[in-house]
Structure 1
């Protein structure tokens, strides 16, 4: 009996000693390191600062904290140290100048392990395969020859897009998705989508939508508490596991199906030029096409499609909303196009430097509603110091791009949509404050060229106005956006019609141009 009592006393004492040790350890860290952490809101036990964030509009919370703590804000989301960068200066200092330390990615258990989004260069840890993906994507999308190679396709698909807007203008959001999704499918895989309900477009759209919906609090908690992945799916709170398994099956199909189709077309001699077919043919010739390489080629191709489709579609939808709200911008841009291009042809990429106001319109759309409010998270690979503050290894770095592009010192009256603001700046300021400087991804030049040609062609051919209700009153949409992984405008109405029959015919005729 005494032995049992002694054992119990020993257990209690051991527990107490452990608790005291834990408390003293964390007290020491707070005293000797915590005092040197960057400023931020005070965390509470267990939650950290998670209770202050919510599921939406986190970019606005971070921006408000800038007023209290400065442009670099330190917080804890449950057990994860997090650093929010609210200024361009801080982002460039850490993510650009110290990229060797900050190029890693946090590990996402839900997206990668449970959904099966692997390999994926956007979610991949820094290392040899990450660098290989960058080489593939850069050579396939960034080099001048690559951009020129895809230009006839971009031109033809842009004309199809404008023709679809003429035929059924009320379905403009659907046309945007088909235009961008079809274009990215052909660039990535050589697959031509003939309709908005193309099977691959529908599959990708379903996977992305379901993944975003499942990434709610119940799902994302598993990233902070990995043990949750092992609870039974029937257990209360375990429903996300059933949904994750369903998404994983669709994700696997999305990785395998277009890849297999591209390989089959190569074998039949029926392949079209694309990012994937170029790599497959090159690696097959060199004898480098191992099963491991094939899995990584699938990942590089799918991120080109899914990443490029969502962000590009969002920018284009934001453009239509901005033009609906600002008819004076539409008129000024059309006046410039009419003066420089005339009405005998449509704009082309070679006209870009001759249409500075149209350029400013696109630049302001990027600033007004950046697709990724909080950018792509990074992970610090080793302890670092910045502005005399200590940043611990493993800290998740979040660039608040939305806040950076609302800096009133750089962009006076930041909530207003004013393309001319970039013409009012000095040339050097306009260059350094261009929103495109804040997002560095291999497909940005291709996406930017596509967006410029799309908006220039739309403005050349179409008028965009406010819709009217049954009584003939104008319907003014709200400049409102759905925040989340990717920000996009809330549903809105607008009126789209050809400026003239001549302009409409130009767009239709170019649709059939196979050059």
Structure 2
């Protein structure tokens, strides 16, 4: 494999740039026999001289290769490329022990120069190193949308879910854009208030959408400037300097997303018209600080991405498995009598719907590999040494497809979360959102939004193929090879289940 080919894979979360930059420090070692103070490195594929495991890393579907290694080598796999070693964690128990119980030494980050400096995204949470700024940002978001406060946003979530259902009636094709747009509007109003959406909602949505496109491109491509930082000085008109044009645009977007809404929020707050929002809460408690500004921007920038992807995964499950969709529908209508949409207060009475929501996270998981952690000192786990400076990659795909844990992981079977012994299973809603001080602070809000949208969708609609199409065999579905992967070519239509559903949709449209 050529270096530029490897660079298009998920390991481009900084791995290649860091590896080549430090190639002179690399020393060839066997991944299974080298001992450090009596401890050996975890097992893994045998490395080649000088280039390590570079040839064994595929161009596409990196998580599938990692999962093959998990089946062969076990819960912890070691691999190395010039200048860097990485540890693939394939067990939830190991991930909890290493990343949750030892956060002081396993919560580092290493993202590339392109992302941090050229694109101006050093302030975002995936890039912040452990320290006061990260801690205060997390504290602010926990105060605003943590488990004790997230319920304050239920009225906005329920209103948004109703509006989204009205929109879905018109969708004939891929549903992801509709989900992203509606969730994006909700996240904007929760973060900055309704008045912010009315005055500059279109600009905010456009900036967010374009910036997320560049972020995905940056994470999953190799940039020479990550190795040779001096390339930042070349002019953008030079051949091969696309990274400069992209970086300039991204930096502009970063400044817009980071600064403009916060300045507007301060103006609205001073005028007394900001309204109920996280911005108001933070301004009143912490003042107009840079950390408050960045905490809001972090929530706004990333808030819609995971939630809309999870919604797409749930929608796809309803589409592929109509018998499951029928069971979810029956449970919800037994609670609502089909006369109203479900609310967040109904969730405790919807165990099968809850189980289906979890199974949508687990089955062909939409987040196969998480953003890597970096160790700051040597750690030992299960008798194996994890050296300082190792990149630790939680492999969700392996965790969610282990037959020893799930029995029949290839089956979409929500009942597994309702059976005896279900409490011992990893909770996919927890696994997806990370570990330790790197747990996504928006997890409670994202879960609340996603569940309510999903339950409302399942109650109102049959998710059906377009005219002339048929539901594919689930085993034949292909998935995009990106961080948050989606089924390739998924198109559907949302057909109201009954006359009662049509009447409810008409009522919702009048109230929207």
TM-score, reference length from structure 1: 0.85
**1:329 and 2:332 aligned:** no
Aligned with residue 474 of structure 1, among 448, 455, 470: 470
Aligned with residue 181 of structure 1, among 181, 184, 191: 184
8 Å Cα contact 1:466/1:493 also seen in 2? yes
Task: Give 1:233-382 correspondences, 5 Å limit.
Answer: 238-284=241-287, 289=288, 293-294=289-290, 296-382=291-377
C-alpha distance in structure 2 between counterparts of 1:197 and 1:134, whole Å: 25
SS in 2 for 1:213: helix
C-alpha distance in structure 2 between counterparts of 1:241 and 1:23, whole Å: 29
Match of 1:8 in 2: none
Match of 2:45 in 1: 41
C-alpha distance in structure 2 between counterparts of 1:54 and 1:365, whole Å: 27
SS in 2 for 1:410: helix
In the superposition, relative to structure 1, how do residues 421 and 189 fare at CA in structure 2: closer, same or farther (>3 Å)? same
Pairwise CA distance, 1:33: 3.7
**Per-residue Cα deviation, 1:280-318 (whole angstroms, up to 9, x for no partner):** 13233xxxx4xxx32x32322222123221111111111
Pairwise CA distance, 1:387: 2.6
Match of 1:7 in 2: none
8 Å Cα contact 2:193/2:276 also seen in 1? yes
Pairwise CA distance, 1:140: 0.7
**Per-residue Cα deviation, 1:67-124 (whole angstroms, up to 9, x for no partner):** 3322211122432221110111210110112122112222432211221113122221
**1:487 and 2:485 aligned:** yes
SS in 2 for 1:43: coil
C-alpha distance in structure 2 between counterparts of 1:23 and 1:215, whole Å: 25
In the superposition, relative to structure 1, how do residues 216 and 421 fare at CA in structure 2: closer, same or farther (>3 Å)? closer
8 Å Cα contact 1:174/1:196 also seen in 2? no
**1:115 and 2:119 aligned:** yes
In the superposition, relative to structure 1, how do residues 456 and 122 fare at CA in structure 2: closer, same or farther (>3 Å)? same
SS in 2 for 1:488: coil
In the superposition, relative to structure 1, how do residues 72 and 489 fare at CA in structure 2: closer, same or farther (>3 Å)? same
Match of 2:447 in 1: 448
Structure 1: where are the runs of 5+ without partners?
1-21
Deviates most, 382-391 or 26-35 = 26-35
Larger radius of gyration: 1
Structure 2: where are the runs of 5+ without partners?
1-23, 434-438
In the superposition, relative to structure 1, how do residues 170 and 26 fare at CA in structure 2: closer, same or farther (>3 Å)? closer
Pairwise CA distance, 1:273: 1.7
In the superposition, relative to structure 1, how do residues 116 and 483 fare at CA in structure 2: closer, same or farther (>3 Å)? same
**How many aligned positions are there?**
478
RMSD: 2.9
**1:409 and 2:404 aligned:** yes
In the superposition, relative to structure 1, how do residues 195 and 249 fare at CA in structure 2: closer, same or farther (>3 Å)? closer
Aligned with residue 142 of structure 1, among 142, 146, 150: 146
In the superposition, relative to structure 1, how do residues 230 and 248 fare at CA in structure 2: closer, same or farther (>3 Å)? same
Match of 1:418 in 2: 413
